Structure 1
Amino acid sequence: MDVETRATTASHSSQIEVVPTGRQLGAEIRNVDLKHLDDATFAALLRAFHDHSVLLVRGQSLSDQDLIAFSRRFGDLDWAPVQETGRRFVDGMPEIYIVSNVKVNGEAIGSLGAGEAVWHTDMSYLDTPPIASALYALEIPPVGGNTSFCSMYAVYDALPPDLKRRVAELKIKHDGTYNSGGFVRQGVTPTDDPRASPGAIHPLVCTHPDSGRQMLYLGRRRNAYLVGLELAESEALLDELWTYVARPEFAWEHVWKVGDLVIWDNRSTMHRRDPFDDHARRIMHRTQIKGTDRPR
């Protein structure tokens, strides 16, 4: 995976380079302007997305309209979720979700603050979770705020045969109480009983609709529950599964630069964010590609 792969497009004899990270997932796409994608270039980019689950494109200069237009090449977009502040979206652009610790006149302009964002899959508490998410860097702190991605294909493949048999038919309840920064979602009454918390139920082992590969669909740890098990049994089994997520060999860490865009497959990956100094500024704009079917 550490050998450069070159994909040729038909537009103006241009070429995009697909450069794998050398990890279990992720590739950098070079020699492309996301504001000007012809069909052949996008087809090559989409193949790379299915092959590598996470794509990084550096050096972009995108308006919110450009970010929305690029993201729509992958499918219809969700409106941004309600932030913990009660705000929903950028005025006039409901597809844009701001991830930021910046405050203006004492009011947060975005969500998630400067703390750690724990391993999670976006919006897995919905009946039909999003296909993918795209995150674009406008301002970044001098250090910290790195984002790591984990291959849930690799995690599933690493499970011992007896553990695969134990989880094969189980379903997992994905909690909708807290977001990845640990904040209570707008309008939700918190509970620490995973059997009583709001959230969707999905298969624990899913098959990716595009690749046909099996993957573990954990969502996030807090308030998760394996349906039908005693609570203590569910907790113990989930703790065991999460030890695989924590293994560094399944992950790739991205150190952000201004102008970076990262788009990831929300079905086959999880991601997390390092904390950073709250006196530094971090402004990221995110879009979310709408799901078309329940995990199966």
Structure 2
Amino acid sequence: MSMVQEPLGAGFGALVEDVALADLDAAAFRQLYALWQRQHLLVFRGHGLDREGLLAFGARFGQVDPLPDLGAGETRWGVDLAWTERPPFGCLLHARQVPESGGATWFACLPAALRLIAPDLQARLRWLAVQHGPNVHPMVIMQPETGEHSLFLGSRRESRITDVPIAESERLLNIAWSYGTAEAVTLCHPWQRGDIVLWNNLTVMHRHDAAPAGTSRKLQRARIQGRYTLAAPIEKEAA
């Protein structure tokens, strides 16, 4: 099948319209999966899925955890469950109810952010690890399925770089986050009712604007369970 796509941002994200996701055969799904690997984030319109259909579609990518709907509140930049040993591999949102304007969701592409960083600073970051809660992850990871190198920042709150003084940890994290949320690597998604967004939770951060006062937003959520322990490129190259 031919899958028409429209680029969404500079270097990542694609809009896929009028594809019946419930009817994808194995070959079409492989094509879609390869597109997701390249683009990191896909937006679907005219897909024909209901609530149960979203979970069935997500299950083709891995074990799915359904979650309570997301409401109208604002959230900060981050990835889901960064503090776990194997963070979720992907995330899904389905717009069930959205305001006429406002309440957008923002996404940031972390492989693109890494490419913005000067080589000497990249070399420093590749040897560092960040603690998120009880677990420690490399600051620069190798995307396990494609081999692409990416920052992995998790969430800013209560994270720190291990084995360096606190002041140095804060300095380096501030620098890394400035690249990770730079305008050049972010895109804003204004929701239309029915939109589905699928993104790689290891390579894309997100945040939500609050819905305007007096309006509501209801986004059906699901996660694709993590199946990879994150590894740094330097470890792979040395193995």
Question: What TM-score does the superposition give when structure 1 sets the normalisation length?
Answer: 0.75
Which structure would you say has the larger Rg?
A: 1
For residue 78 of structure 2, what is the aligned residue in structure 1? 120
Instruction: Decide which moves more: 132-141 or 59-68.
Output: 59-68
Contact 1:154 1:250 in 2 (8 A): yes
Contact 2:138 2:152 in 1 (8 A): yes
Q: Distance in 2 between matches of 1:25 and 1:160?
A: 21
Q: What's the CA shift for 1:200?
A: 1.7
For residue 191 of structure 1, what is the aligned residue in structure 2? none
Moved over 3 A (4+): none
1:254 matched to 2:212? The reply is: no
**Secondary structure, aligned partner of 1:215:** strand
Q: Distance in 1 between matches of 2:85 and 2:28?
A: 33
Contact 2:84 2:135 in 1 (8 A): yes
Task: State the percentage of identical aligned residues.
Answer: 32
**Secondary structure, aligned partner of 1:29:** strand
State how 1:92-107 maps to structure 2 within 5 Å.
Answer: 95-101=66-72
State how 1:198-237 maps to structure 2 within 5 Å.
Answer: 198-237=133-172
Question: What TM-score does the superposition give when structure 2 sets the normalisation length?
Answer: 0.92
Q: What's the CA shift for 1:129?
A: 0.5
* One-letter amino acid of the counterpart of residue 235, structure 1: E
For residue 50 of structure 1, what is the aligned residue in structure 2? 37
For residue 235 of structure 2, what is the aligned residue in structure 1? none
Q: Distance in 2 between matches of 1:56 and 1:199?
A: 33
Contact 2:109 2:203 in 1 (8 A): yes
For residue 152 of structure 1, what is the aligned residue in structure 2? 110
- CA 1:261/1:49 → structure 2, altered by over 3 Å: closer, same or farther? same
Q: Which runs of 5+ in 2 are unaligned?
A: 232-239
Q: What's the CA shift for 1:61?
A: 4.1
Q: What's the CA shift for 1:96?
A: 3.4
Contact 2:91 2:224 in 1 (8 A): yes
Q: Distance in 1 between matches of 2:141 and 2:121?
A: 15
| Higher helix proportion (structure 1 or 2) | 2
**Secondary structure, aligned partner of 2:194:** coil
Q: Distance in 2 between matches of 1:211 and 1:61?
A: 29
Q: Distance in 1 between matches of 2:37 and 2:25?
A: 19
Contact 1:72 1:289 in 2 (8 A): yes
Contact 2:14 2:43 in 1 (8 A): yes
Q: Distance in 2 between matches of 1:77 and 1:45?
A: 18
Q: What's the CA shift for 1:246?
A: 2.9
Q: What's the CA shift for 1:22?
A: 4.5
1:65 matched to 2:52? The reply is: yes
**Secondary structure, aligned partner of 2:21:** coil
**Secondary structure, aligned partner of 2:60:** helix
Count of matched residue positions in the alignment of Structure 1 and Structure 2: 231
State how 1:20-39 maps to structure 2 within 5 Å.
Answer: 20-39=7-26
**Secondary structure, aligned partner of 2:164:** coil
Contact 2:17 2:46 in 1 (8 A): no
**Secondary structure, aligned partner of 1:65:** helix
Q: Distance in 2 between matches of 1:43 and 1:237?
A: 39
Q: What's the CA shift for 1:164?
A: 1.1
Spell out, residue by residue over 1:201-227, the C-alpha distance to the aligned partner (whole angstroms, 9 max, x if none). Answer: 101110011221111100111111001
Contact 2:107 2:207 in 1 (8 A): yes
1:166 matched to 2:124? The reply is: yes
Q: What's the CA shift for 1:145?
A: 1.4
Q: Distance in 2 between matches of 1:62 and 1:22?
A: 25
Q: Distance in 2 between matches of 1:132 and 1:279?
A: 31
**Secondary structure, aligned partner of 1:49:** helix
Contact 1:24 1:249 in 2 (8 A): no
* One-letter amino acid of the counterpart of residue 78, structure 2: H
Q: Distance in 2 between matches of 1:18 and 1:161?
A: 33
For residue 234 of structure 2, what is the aligned residue in structure 1? none
For residue 140 of structure 1, what is the aligned residue in structure 2? 98
